[in-house]
Amino acid sequence: MMPRHNPALQRSQKTPMTPARRRLLTIGLIVLSAASGWMMMIVVEPAFQRTIVMTSGADNGIYRGFADRYAPILKRAGIKLDIRGSSGSVENYERLREPKSIYDVGFIQSGTVSPKETDKLQTIAAVSYEPIWVFYRGETSVDQLSQLRGKRISLGVPGSGLLNVAQLLLGYSGVTSQNSTLLQMDAPAAYQRLETGQIDAAFFIGRPDAEMQKTLLNSSLKLMSFSQADALVQKIPSLAKIILPRASTSVAEDLPRTDVTLLGATALLVSKDTMHPALIYMLLDAARIVHGHEHYFTPLGTFPNTNTEEFPISDDSVRYFKSGQPFLYRNLPFWLASLIERRLLILVPFAALLIGLLQALPRMVETRMRKRLVVWYREIKALEDEVWNSTAPTRSQIAQWSDEIESIDANVSRIRIPYRYFQDVYALKQAIGVVRNRIAHVAQSAKG
């Protein structure tokens, strides 16, 4: 049923809302409610990610070894580490930078890729040095890469960080495919061909305690010491000069018999920048356990760290290294801390909104109550103006005014309003009385 005008409101009542406008307002409210509900579902939905997909590296390689040590640590926190093999650092980078790929995190060797701002990747931590070893055969001692010019040299496999670094180092030393035989093969094949004399030198990468490195260090092959390490580090800042101490392979046999200068790349734990902070904290805890101990090249506690500029450093990592895990994740199980944190995302702003509404509610009620009276004040004022502006009103006009003021008075008397606003009602009635007296005075004058 269409709403009717109040007959007492002759001068100030607004035109009722049209059906088209009412439909438009209804549709707008429905759309707004649906959008608000959708946003709340996104924020509140407790979709815990319990699996991290990691792109590691070659089987039996340094990155795979790291990943295998991370897995049981994360499992204790209720997180499954899904480890996927790769050819190495370059392939890991390509996998992670693809927005729609399934990969969340992986290891990337410093200096092997050229990151872009559009990659949307972040460094969680630098986790370890990756020593670069050059083993060779022959009677002549080699301490400069330029001495390998004209030789058959294995550089690593396509997609690996070792291949990129080896090519860079040889390039600075004047060793190219035009003057030497540069081959691409994996570590086991390179070792076998070195032993059988099919190649003259090979680049390897890995920790001294890795199986391949132990095999190489205990073989008859010779290990090159980089006499130009300081200059090469200046040329390639992503590398570091590191020392393999004398007798670190075998004290009893005094192997190696001198300190050996090596070059070390840095293994970076890199993730997409959308990774949940809670998972970053779990990975950092695992990295601290796996990489935080003292070893050949660094003192206790050197790794993990954020001393790298390859990719942007995760803000969560900065907070972690500054003050450790947040209180919730430090004292509660991962799933519970994550649940509470996600709930707080909606509860805190909701509480702030609720407080604001509670503070505004009394003013809103007061405004509504006063609005119910203001409409009658406007009607009275319009009537009074008409009375004052009429210089020679007729009897019928005066009678109409009298009817209107009495109708207004009757309607005001029927207004339902809380007791604390009664003083406003009676102030309105006083205004009605003033206009009534004015109409009576005009009527009396008209009779005279």
Residue 30 has pLDDT above 50, yes or no: yes
Residue 5 has pLDDT above 50, yes or no: no
By DSSP bridging, strand 260-272 and strand 240-244 are antiparallel
Out of 331, 355, 387, pick the residue that ends a domain: 331
Clarify whether residues 162 and 298 are in a common domain: yes
Clarify whether residues 94 and 172 are in a common domain: yes
Query: Does 269 map to a domain?
Result: yes
Residue 12 has pLDDT above 80, yes or no: no
| Position 124 confidence tier, pLDDT thresholds 50, 70, 90 | very high
Clarify whether residues 350 and 318 are in a common domain: no
88: alpha, beta or left? (left if phi > 0; alpha if psi -120 to 50): left
By DSSP bridging, strand 152-154 and strand 181-183 are parallel
What whole-number distance in Å separates Cα of residue 415 and Cα of residue 410? Answer: 9
By DSSP bridging, strand 51-55 and strand 80-84 are parallel
Clarify whether residues 411 and 271 are in a common domain: no
Out of 282, 303, 331, pick the residue that ends a domain: 331
| Position 33 confidence tier, pLDDT thresholds 50, 70, 90 | low
> Is the full-model pTM beyond 0.85?
no
Query: Does 46 map to a domain?
Result: no
H helix or E strand, kind and range, residue 270: strand 260-272
Query: Does 441 map to a domain?
Result: yes
Clarify whether residues 312 and 401 are in a common domain: no
Query: Does 157 map to a domain?
Result: yes
Write down the pLDDT at residue 241.
95
Query: Does 340 map to a domain?
Result: no
| Position 236 confidence tier, pLDDT thresholds 50, 70, 90 | very high
Q: Which two tokens stand for residue 85?
A: 């093999």
Residue range 349-368: mean pLDDT, rounded = 74
Closest listed residue to residue 217, CA positions, set 295, 287, 133, 151: 133
Beta-bridge partners for 125: 269
Query: Does 285 map to a domain?
Result: yes
User: How many domains does one find in the chain?
Assistant: 2
Clarify whether residues 237 and 380 are in a common domain: no
Clarify whether residues 66 and 147 are in a common domain: yes
Range of the domain at 420: 345-447
Residue 45 has pLDDT above 60, yes or no: no
H helix or E strand, kind and range, residue 266: strand 260-272
Query: Does 18 map to a domain?
Result: no
Return the SS3 of 417. Answer: coil
Q: Do the Cβ atoms of 278 and 341 come closer than 8 Å? A: yes
Clarify whether residues 175 and 276 are in a common domain: yes
Clarify whether residues 357 and 323 are in a common domain: no
Residue range 9-21: mean pLDDT, rounded = 58
Average pLDDT, rounded, for the chain = 85
What CATH code is carried by the domain that includes residue 95? 3.40.190.10
Clarify whether residues 301 and 434 are in a common domain: no
Q: Do the Cβ atoms of 183 and 155 come closer than 8 Å? A: yes
Residue 15 has pLDDT above 60, yes or no: no
Clarify whether residues 203 and 285 are in a common domain: yes
150: alpha, beta or left? (left if phi > 0; alpha if psi -120 to 50): left
Out of 276, 299, 331, pick the residue that ends a domain: 331
Residue that the structure tokens 């009394």 belong to: 362
Query: Does 338 map to a domain?
Result: no
| DSSP per position, 118-174 | GG-EEEEEEEEEEEEEEEE-SSS---SGGGGTTSEEE---TT-HHHHHHHHHHHHTT
End-to-end CA distance of the chain, in Å?
Answer: 49
Return the SS3 of 260. Answer: strand
pLDDT digits (tens, 9 = 90+) for 248-305: 888 999 989 999 999 999 999 999 999 988 899 999 999 999 998 867 788 888 899 9
Residues whose CB is less than 8 angstroms from the CB of residue 308 and which lie 6 or more positions away in sequence, other chains included: 110, 123, 126, 266, 268
pLDDT digits (tens, 9 = 90+) for 61-89: 889 989 999 999 999 988 999 999 998 89
Clarify whether residues 173 and 272 are in a common domain: yes
